[in-house]
Chain A
């Protein structure tokens, strides 16, 4: 158990509404990631963070923003949800306090449906 919790685990929302997903870790890891998983696309990196207030874009960052105001929390916000953002979202942390381990540990996932 890597001490990662995601909330909410399931959410249904309407097009145009903002949505925030939260990832919380208990082990003081420096590197945190947000992915979306869709059939046929594998996991696509949305944003990642390499420290408090240090974030960078991934492969599919349009329509998403992130914030990391403290080590343990990494928030993903869909500014105005669209149906194309219906997906399962996974948060991950990189093993080792400084990320030296390399292995990613994943949260349980947040299933988002945008109607």
Chain B
């Protein structure tokens, strides 16, 4: 069965700092990878996704993520965070074919102005 781990549960950064959130998954087959963001009181919103091809994917709001197959990782990055990036971030994995869609436990990011 697949699983997703997000090791950073809470992250506090100052504005303009760089961000990297870790995501590791376990599954032996082909996966699709996603990062979502949830602002307070709102739905989850897709930041970016990886299906195949270039392992460095760019998403909305200046976020990017890199798929490293050998490490089963899909870390989220942003060069310079803003106060408005304060939110909870979720990594997700689904398995090609079955589309069983599993989320990590989330990382709460607080950006100090």
Contacts and interface: CB of A to CB of B under 8 A. Distances in A.
Given A102-B32, A102-B34, A58 B100 contact: yes
B100 A42 contact: no
B90 interface: yes
Interface string B33-49: 01010000001101001
A31 B94 CA distance: 12
Contact of A56 (B36, B46, B100): B100
A99 B100 contact: no
Contacts of B36: 104
Given A102-B49, A102-B94, A103-B49, A44 B43 contact: no
A34 to B, nearest CB: 11
B105 to A, nearest CB: 4
A59 B90 CA distance: 16
Interface string A93-115: 01000010011101010000000
Interface in A37-70: 40-45, 48, 50, 56, 58-59
Nearest to A4: B43
A102 B103 CA distance: 13
Interface residues of A, number: 22
A74 interface: no
Contacts of B49: 102-103
B44 A99 contact: no
Contacts of A41: 105
Given A42-B6, A43-B103, 17 more contacts: A33-B101, A40-B9, A42-B90, A42-B103, A44-B103, A45-B100, A45-B102, A45-B103, A50-B98, A56-B100, A92-B101, A102-B49, A103-B46, A103-B49, A104-B44, A106-B43, A108-B43
14 contacts: A40-B105, A42-B105, A43-B90, A44-B103, A45-B100, A45-B101, A45-B102, A48-B101, A56-B98, A58-B100, A102-B34, A102-B51, A106-B44, A108-B43
Interface of B: 6, 9, 32, 34, 36, 43-44, 46, 49, 51, 90, 92, 94, 98-106
